[in-house]
Each structure stands twice: as structure tokens, then as C-alpha cells.
Amino acid sequence: MNGFNLKVIEDIFDIKYIKERFNQFLITPIDVSGIYWETGEIWIQDRKKVYERFREVFQVKRLDFLQKYDFLDFLQFRTNFSWTGLPRVGNKAVEDMDRLRNALKTLFDENQPIIERINKVVKRSGTAHVRGLGKNISTGLLMIQDPNRYGVMNRKSIEAISVLGVNFKLRSNLGKSYEIFNELLLALADKIGTDLVYLDGFFWFLCKDLKKIQQASSPSLKQLEKTFQLKQRYQKARIKDLVLVMIDGPNSLGKNYNDRLDLKQVRDYAYSMDTNANIYYLTKIQDCSIDKKEISRLGYKILESHKDIDYLMRDEIREKLKTKSPPNILILGTKDQDFLNFIKDVKKEHDIKIILAISSSRGLAESLIPVVDDIQFFPEKKQANNIIEVKIMEQTPKGTYIARHPDGKIVFIRAGIKLLNDEEVLIQITGENPKKTVYFANFVRKIE
């Protein structure tokens, strides 16, 4: 099989930029369909663990005994930790289990070239084709079987490759398309020093927030197939989320509650979305309780004023929104209810996502919760995971769920998916209210 040499990969891609984005992915919190991981690194490690189980399920020698529930279980994100949306099409594959078993045997048959296997299984005219077993599921299964040799070819990975510099187009010979695409993935993974599982997760990270870009010129599949060498160096792309961070010093330090905002964590979070994020720390001129040198060392621009910081923040944010390149994301380090109407007005006037960056839920005005897009917790002292098992009691009118903590207190749970009463779930405690009568938590996953 022909391949891309590393020099060609350097000509196609901006490797330095890709490595920067990849390293950001590894430290960025991941939230997919309501399931949360602290970092991209932890997410990928969890994916690899579940792959070990599925390799057992899909062993060639056991395919004759494969049951419907085995395949349907693999399709669910809550069990594969990798891809959403597979059941929409994949559920059809179990309508004829004998045909599905035969298709999987063909797909995993290493005695046949990969081109032939993909064409037989994925193409509708293929001799081993079964409805519901498309390229997304087939290449995903190949990666699970052998993550050192096979990568995933789906909409996300093709879009990510396009964002990074190659306008890859599928052709009628789907098997040949996959062979070429897989060689590209292998060479790119080798060049940035990672493997195909990490690369697949990284592609999800790129596509989550990056907008598709128009390349001045890009190689066609035919060019790649004929020579595997590109003489033209393609236009380098820099995609920015245009993130603005505004930290209300007096309001975010949590002096009254003995907790402080970890400014380094906030900075890293902002840089994970935009390496050129503008980060500001606003404080009173006479405030001697902070280490201004340390804050500056972390990269924050300190804005000092005699007047109320709330007013200074509002003025500064409005000025930034008037510029030629206004931010798409505003990370606001405050818990103050005084910002409620300001946030509402800004969201009406501008197409902007607003994220609260806080140290804990203590002192957080509950009125802010429904008007912001997200809340991220950055406590200065690293806390335990606080993962516990609870049973859902009911859903509130605002969409949060109520459960009871093992110590008897009520827990309010934020979840991105529909949960049912009496359903058992794992949650992560993120804080308490000031009177310590209730907990706040994020949904982690269901307990099957």
C-alpha cells in the first residue's frame, strides 16, 4: 500500500499549529451528550478502556454468537464513549442478524485487501452489504479492532481534515477512498506523535467549535491517489474563537466564602478555545489583597479603577463588542446578580456565548443560571471528583433535576439529556448553596 511520507505531510499541513491545537485538546474539559470528562486525555483513556470490552464482543471467532443487544449496545454513546448518532442508522442492521454477522466477518477478514472489504460491506451494491452498516460504523469498528492500523472515516473526520488543509472528497470507489484517507490519518498521527484514537477525539474537538473555512487551493483525491506528493504549499488557516475573559476581582475571589477562583485554570480554559484569547483582570486601585505581579505573570491585563468594578466591566465589555472583530465567547468571572440585566441586554444585541467562570456555587445568584450559556467551576484548590450515585426524584420547571444526596440533602442536577424519575445516575457534586442546605451537581452518566 502506498503511503504519505512525512515531508509530504509537512507540505499539506501546518504541523506546528496542529500540535498546538492537539495539546489544547488534551487539557480541555469534554462534554458530549451530557457526559463530562475533566480533560480530553481522560476522555480518550476511557474510550480505550471500553474498546477492550468491545474487542471481546466482536472477536471473529465469536461472531456466530453475536446477539442483537451486543450490536445495539455498541451503537450507544453512553457505552462506546466515542460517537453519537449511530443508532439512527445502525439499528436497521440488526433486522437481519445472519447477514450482519456475515458482513462483520468480511469486514474483519485480514486476508482480503481493505479496499475490497469496504466495498463489499459498505457499498449498497456490495456482496456483503447490510442496511445500516455504513462507513461511520464500519470504520469505527475497524479502529476498535485494530487502533494501530485503522482510523475512522466519517463526517467529522473529513470535515476536520478539510479545516486543516485538505479538501477531501469521496469517490465511487469507497474502498479506495478509505485506503487513501486512512494513510493520511496514519501519517498525520505519526507526525504529531499520537495514535488514531487520540486523533479521532481531536477531530471532534476541532469540529465542535471551528467553522469550516474556504481554502485558496486544496488537493483533489485524484492528485493524492496518483502521486501522494503535493508540490504546492497550501494556505495556512488560523481559526480563532475570539474569546474575551473579564474577571471581576473583588466579586470572583469569594472572600466571604473562603474559596478563590483559580486564574490559571481560567486562562488555560480560554486558551483551549482561542490561543489568542484576551484576558483581563479588573480590580480597585487600592486593593492590596491580590498579587498583581502573579496575575500579570499568568498573562492577564490588569485594569484598575477607583470606581465600582461592575460599571468598569460593563463599559469594557461594550467597548470590545464594538470592535471590528468582536468576541464570539465572553467568559465572565463573577457571581453578582447586578450583572443579570446586563447579560440579558448583551445577548439580545450581540450573537455571543456567555460563560460564567466561578470558584464554587456559593454566593452564585441563582437568577444568573438560566440567562448564561454555561457555568464552569475553577476552584483554586483541587477538589476530589465527588462522584456519587443517586436516584432521580423529579424535574424542576427550569429543567434541572432533583435527587437526594446520601447525607440526606437535596441535590440540583444539571443534565444535557432527558432523565426519568427513579432512574439511577452518577453525578459530580460541584458545590453547595451558602447555607449548606442543598448541593449543586453535574450529570455524569446513567447507570445501566
Q: Where is 315: in which H helix or E strand?
A: helix 309-321
User: DSSP secondary structure string, 110-137?
Assistant: TTS-HHHHHHHHTSTT-TT--TT--HHH
**54-92 pLDDT, tens per residue?**
999 999 999 999 998 889 989 999 889 999 989 888 999
72, 130: one domain: yes
**Model confidence band, residue 255 (pLDDT cutoffs 50, 70, 90):** very low
Task: Give counts: helices (H), strands (E), the chain.
Answer: 18, 13
- 175 found inside a domain: yes
Q: Where is 430: in which H helix or E strand?
A: strand 424-432
Q: Is the pLDDT of residue 363 over 80?
A: no
Residue 57 exposure: Cα atoms within 13 Å on the Cβ side = 19
* Encoded amino acid at 418, one letter: K
Res 251: pLDDT: 65
275, 360: one domain: yes
Q: Where is 358: in which H helix or E strand?
A: strand 353-358
Q: What is the mean pLDDT of the chain?
A: 82
140, 280: one domain: no
CA 299 to chain centre: 25
Determine how many CB atoms are found less than 10 A away from the CB of residue 442. Answer: 19
291, 341: one domain: yes
- 232 found inside a domain: no
- Residue 400 sits in a domain whose CATH number is 2.40.50.140
144, 274: one domain: no
- Residue 292 sits in a domain whose CATH number is 3.40.50.1010
Interhelix angle 135-145/40-57, rounded to 10 degrees, is 90
Q: Which residues contact 18 (CB under 8 A, 6 or more apart)?
A: 164, 188, 192
Q: Is the pLDDT of residue 227 over 80?
A: no
CA distances in angstroms from 120 to 86, 111, 114, listed in the order given: 20, 14, 10
SS3 271: helix
**302-342 pLDDT, tens per residue?**
888 877 788 888 888 998 888 877 888 999 988 878 888 88
List beta partners, residue 355.
331, 374
SS (H, E, C) 151-219: CCCCHHHHHHHHHHCCCCCCCCCHHHHHHHHHHHHHHHHHHHCCCHHHHHHHHHHHHHHCCCCCCCCCC
Q: Do the strands 438-446 and 424-432 form a parallel or antiparallel pair, or are they unpaired? A: antiparallel
74, 167: one domain: yes
Q: Is the pLDDT of residue 256 over 90?
A: no
Q: Where is 284: in which H helix or E strand?
A: strand 278-284
- 234 found inside a domain: no
Res 169: pLDDT: 80
53, 77: one domain: yes
Using the 3D structure, point to which of 322, 344, 377 is the last residue of a domain.
Answer: 377
C-alpha cell recorded at residue 368: 444568573
Using the 3D structure, point to which of 377, 411, 426 is the last residue of a domain.
Answer: 377
- 404 found inside a domain: yes
Res 259: pLDDT: 65
73, 200: one domain: yes
**181-216 pLDDT, tens per residue?**
999 899 899 888 899 999 999 999 988 865 433 333
SS3 55: helix
C-alpha cell recorded at residue 232: 504546492
* Encoded amino acid at 201, one letter: G
Q: Is the pLDDT of residue 220 over 60?
A: no
C-alpha cell recorded at residue 309: 468594578
440, 350: one domain: no
Q: Do the strands 410-414 and 401-404 form a parallel or antiparallel pair, or are they unpaired? A: antiparallel
CA–CA separation, 53 and 211 (whole Å): 35
Q: The domain containing residue 58 runs over which residues?
A: 6-227
Res 93: pLDDT: 93
CA 293 to chain centre: 33
| Predicted structure pTM score | 0.49
98, 146: one domain: yes
250, 308: one domain: yes
- 382 found inside a domain: no
- 233 found inside a domain: no
- 166 found inside a domain: yes
Q: What share of the chain is helix, strand, coil (3-state, %, to 5)?
A: 45, 15, 40
Res 244: pLDDT: 92
Please state the domain count of the chain. Answer: 3
> How large is the average pLDDT for residues 385-412?
86
CA–CA separation, 82 and 76 (whole Å): 9
Give the residue among 324, 212, 330 at the shortest CA–CA distance from 270. Answer: 330
Angle at CA of residue 22, ends 21 and 25, nearest 5°: 90
Using the 3D structure, point to which of 354, 377, 400 is the last residue of a domain.
Answer: 377
255, 115: one domain: no
> How large is the average pLDDT for residues 151-167?
87
**112-138 pLDDT, tens per residue?**
999 999 999 999 899 999 999 999 999
